Amino acid sequence: MKHLLSAADLDREEALTLLDTAEELASVTDRAVKKLPTLRGRTVANLFFEDSTRTRLSFEAAAKRLSADVITFTAKGSSVSKGETLKDTALTLEAMGAQVIVLRHHASGAAQRLAESGWIGASVINAGDGTHEHPTQALLDAYTLRQHLRGGSGDLQGLRVVIVGDILHSRVARSDVALLTTLGARVTLVAPPTLVPVGVESWNCDVTFDFDDALSDADAVMMLRVQSERMNAAYFPSAHEYSRRYGLDSMRAAQLPDHAVVLHPGPMNRGMEITAEVADGHRALIVDQVANGVSVRMAVLYQVLSSEEGAA
């Protein structure tokens, strides 16, 4: 695997190999010295044109746990303000020795453009491009579901996953639908009609506008953040109305089967799409998702850099 650009690019075997590798690498996290020498001498560059807490820091932790050197670039405070392009910024990082570029960018397709442009020889990992894809988030979501509902191995065959909220602007929803269905899960999207993307019929999932209808047979509910920063129009009458129809509170959570779990990719709008009581409650795996993100990103870095070594 030279690049990781899209969850849709992963077939079942490739996805399971990444999850199994992450499972093995997770044991490093439990050690007193959280380091393996695997990527010693390699350099990972985090190239973040958009804000991030979880993804940027977990790629950094993942690279360091594998003994790689890490260069971190954030657009704020950089020469992007002087008009420097993605191409020149990536060339600059490669000139400093980066073999992998982890890219987050506001433009959908930016990671693919960088990977396929021929500008650089480094591998590219998509850490979120516009409203398009966020493949490592999908991998850590699949990992977390597998850990809690499938005993930490195998695929997600028959698992019923409900993804709720701002589907229109969500790169997480796109990547999750692609990867979870590749692994055998059945996905239902729940959103107000205004937040359902055009062309959703071609996604391999069901769509409903009624959250309550989807609760009783769900194994997992993934709540999505309302991405106000990407909204240039009024997509719903008010925050209160949105929460009433599409928010997860304790009353709704009580309608879920006893074993059902609640996920959220973060950052959360507490009180909007999820109440604090549910976010901090016994079903919530939101902190587990963050912890698993480090192991999954270790596995992705390992796979990408191994393929580069094989090619060499």
Where on the chain is the footprint of ligand CP (CB under 6 A)? Answer: 52-55, 128, 137, 265-267
Between 139 and 215, CB nearer to ligand CP: 139
**Cβ neighbours of residue 88 closer than 8 Å, sequence gap 6 or more:** none
CB of 55 to ligand CP, least distance (A): 3
Output 64 or 245, the one with its CB closest to ligand CP.
Answer: 64
Q: How far is the CB of 266 from ligand CP (least distance, A)?
A: 5
Query: CB-wise, 215 or 278, nearer to ligand CP?
Result: 278
* Cβ atoms of residues 137 and 128 within 8 Å: yes
How far apart are the C-alpha atoms of 67 and 69, rounded to whole Å?
7
**Residue of 22, 84, 82, 71 lying closest to 42 (CA atoms):** 71
Tell me the closest approach of the beta carbon of residue 157 to ligand CP, in angstroms.
26
Cβ closest to ligand CP, residue 184 vs residue 267: 267
Minimum distance of ligand CP from residue 158's CB (angstroms): 26
Q: How far is the CB of 237 from ligand CP (least distance, A)?
A: 27
Q: Which is nearer to ligand CP, 52 or 67 (CB)?
A: 52
- Give the nearest distance from C-beta 137 to ligand CP in angstroms: 5
Q: Is the dihedral of CA 54, 55, 59, 62 positive or negative?
A: positive
At closest approach, how far in Å is the CB of 60 from ligand CP?
11
174 vs 186, which CB is nearer to ligand CP?
A: 174
Q: Rank residues 155 and 293 by Cβ distance to ligand CP and give the closer one.
A: 293
Relative to beta strand 43-48, strand 160-164 is unpaired
Tokens coding 247: 């928010």
